[in-house]
Chains A and B, each alone.
Chain A
Amino acid sequence: MLEKALTGSKKYYGWITLLLAVIAVGFAFYLGQLSFGLGITGMSRDVTWGFYIAQFTFLVGVAASAVMLVLPYYLHNYKAFGKITILGEFLAVASVVMCALFIFIDLGQPARVLNVLLYPSPNSILFWDMIVLNGYLILNIVIGWKVLEAERNGVAPPGWLKPLIYLSIPWAVSIHTVTAFLYSGLPGRGFWMTAILAPRFLASAFASGPAFLILLCLLVRKVTKFDPGREQIQSLAKIVTYGIIINLFFFLCEIFVVYYSGIPEHLDHFNYLYFGLDGHGALVPWMRASIILMVVGIILLVNPVTRRNEGILAVACIVVFVGTWIDKGLGMISGGFVPSPLHHVNEYVPTLPEIIIAAGVWAIGFLVLTALFKIAVSIKEEVAGVA
């Protein structure tokens, strides 16, 4: 089946070439980081995690969202999703690949990464994160591949796959829960120390992931002969609607607790992000935009008239995706570090090399995604006899 990724139109090759070019530039800058050290980033003694870890956190959510297709199809026998489950699973694969790379490029001594296996430390949530992410990657590759292969050969998927598929459902929840536990279990980091963090991560994941998938479905319909289907897209849209509303609700719960209790260790971070603190407020316009985008997304999605219009739906999905990305991929991580535990306000802004390296990783993710989607769609076309 892999050969399907190697043949395609001129446009396909053009896109691949573009991605390879971005990867090459990102890699060149990574070599720079490797030789100089992480000092080329905007991170500092006070803000020790930045853009890379934020991208990782956001993408774990996108990966976990595959469960929003798998669960209705396999547990509720919602047949319509059978057609596009593979797209969700392959999106998960590409996302987890990016997650792993973002962790890797964030390491000060990447050559020693295998120390995590050599000295397994169950105390550390990072150890468990490694296990759940790798497990999820393998599950989705195996499940996606075998189901697609069976579809191609016109046979039922092998029986041993069923338990793995069922396992992948709680496993998807686990990857984002464990990722939230990385942050929410740290004493002295008031911003993250809330039990709502994992549920909120999941809610925003179930909004951003399916929103991105809708956009991909619309794109697939446009550039290939495979139509993911109107019903499928509309069902996904409802999932996005619930996801983004629940995310905003959880966020407001957090806002209530923080502002009504008024405990400074929690309050200061929120003040920094949404109002600025001691004259520092680089993220304020972004964080406010994020809230506005999420609200606009909800308005467009809740209203059936706008939701059913695929053009407006696409806009709503972009709005939701960008809104949740700012929330998680920009504010969530550095917001926890400002102010510092000693109550100094040292802001973080990513540097250009840092953004270019991150773009390289995103490009690798898109390359994996493109190849996998190309395979899946080619086989769908082949089975339908339209190729």
Chain B
Amino acid sequence: MMESSRRRFLKIAGVSALGLGTKPLLDVFAASGEKGDKQKAQVLPNKEALTATQWAMVIDTKKFKSAEDLVPMIEACNKIHNIPEFKNKKHEIKWIWAEEFKHAFPTRNMRFLPERIEQLPFLVLCNHCENPPCVRVCPTQATFKREDGIVHMDYHRCIGCRFCMAACPYGSRSFNFRDPRPFIMKRNPEFPTRMKGVVEKCNFCAERLAVGKMPNCVEAANGALTFGDLEDPGSGVRELLRSNYMIRRKQGLGTRPAVYYIV
């Protein structure tokens, strides 16, 4: 009984091996009928697209008077990116939001600060670091640095391990602890909604840059936000950097944030 079943197994295994062995041969015939593999499809860039070597942002906090001044920029982002509104703070999704100085810059906190700085909320968002720890730790390359310096995400590849959230020193990342779609007040059909179980964050409006538009928060900022190429000496960002002393968040960590603050 045992012998015969072993023989049967070997027979099946043998036939299977033969089948696998002929696969390359079959592939040759299969491929010969098509132009196939060698001609790869090309994606042509939009001629209108805005390009850079390292996109960067300058936030001129001198131009803000109160927390209300930040609302238009935050709302401009939330609206176009389908950010859900959760009542439970634990599940919050935030791309760009307001923090007090001591939270935005915990390593720079001081007992005696100018009243304006102590009370003014600061805009915080993903820093699109030149040396991003989140990209380093991602086990699937779902988070990656693009050629233009944007730290981007593939929501369809993300496995939701949240290693990037542990790695980000700025708390810039959010996780979809539940399905966000029922909590989106008004859906923008031009930008994908996310599903539960994936991480997300600010993308510097990569989808707008691709069609020649500036990030939505910049457009809503009334000149308080400047967006440009850090590597282009003629860019607005570089111009401001030449004439203002600026700070970045947690500079000591070597992540090289691309978001600069005039204080």
Contact = CB atoms under 8 A, between A and B. Distances in A.
Interface in A100-133: 103, 106-110, 112-113, 115-116, 118-119, 121, 123-127, 130
A265 interface: yes
Contacts of B90: 39, 43-45, 346
Given A37-B196, A45-B92, A45-B175, A186 B167 contact: yes
A188 interface: yes
B157 A112 contact: yes
Interface in B138-168: 138-142, 157-163, 165-168
A1 to B, nearest CB: 16
Contacts of B161: 103, 106-108, 126
A337 B159 CA distance: 21
Given A107-B161, A109-B198, A48 B254 contact: no
Nearest to B102: A343
A124 B138 contact: yes
A156 interface: no
A272 B209 CA distance: 43
Contacts of B91: 39, 44-45
Contacts of A109: 158-160, 195, 197-198
A112 B159 CA distance: 6
B236 interface: no
Contacts of B133: 186-188
Contacts of B141: 119, 121
Contact of B176 (A37, A46, A49, A341): A37
Contacts of A126: 137, 139, 161, 163
Interface stretch (B8-16, B62-70, B103-111, B213-221): B103-111
Contacts of A108: 158-162, 175-176, 196-199
B207 interface: no
B248 interface: no
Contacts of B72: none
Contacts of B174: 45
B178 interface: yes
B163 A124 contact: yes
Interface in B185-236: 195-199
A183 B162 CA distance: 12
Interface residues of B, number: 51
Contacts of A344: 103
A187 B254 contact: yes
Nearest to B177: A39
Contacts of A343: 102-103, 106
A237 interface: no
A106 B254 CA distance: 30
A190 to B, nearest CB: 10
A38 B179 CA distance: 10
Interface in B239-258: 250, 253-255
A107 B160 contact: yes
Contacts of B195: 109
A341 B102 CA distance: 11
Most buried by B among A108, A119, A337: A108
Nearest to B94: A45
A336 B176 CA distance: 21
A281 B159 CA distance: 32
A340 B170 CA distance: 9
A36 interface: yes
Contacts of B160: 38, 107-109, 112
A121 B134 CA distance: 13
A341 B198 contact: no
A342 interface: yes
B233 to A, nearest CB: 29
Nearest to B158: A109
A240 B74 CA distance: 55
Contacts of A110: 159
Interface string B120-146: 000010000000010111111110000
A113 B197 CA distance: 12
Interface string A29-40: 000000011110
A385 B24 CA distance: 55
A176 interface: no
B174 to A, nearest CB: 6
A189 B137 CA distance: 14
Interface in B4-25: none
Interface in B84-121: 88-92, 94, 99, 102-104, 106-107
Contacts of B92: 45
A265 B252 CA distance: 12
Interface string A236-270: 00000000000000000000000000000100000
Contacts of A125: 137
A188 B169 contact: yes
Contacts of B107: 265
26 contacts: A37-B177, A37-B197, A38-B197, A44-B90, A45-B171, A49-B162, A49-B166, A107-B161, A107-B197, A108-B160, A108-B175, A109-B197, A112-B160, A116-B140, A118-B140, A121-B140, A123-B137, A126-B163, A186-B133, A187-B169, A187-B254, A188-B169, A188-B253, A336-B166, A341-B171, A342-B103
Given A186-B137, A342-B104, 16 more contacts: A37-B196, A38-B177, A39-B196, A43-B90, A44-B91, A45-B90, A48-B162, A103-B161, A106-B162, A108-B159, A109-B197, A109-B198, A126-B139, A127-B139, A341-B169, A342-B171
Interface of B: 88-92, 94, 99, 102-104, 106-107, 124, 133, 135-142, 157-163, 165-171, 174-179, 195-199, 250, 253-255
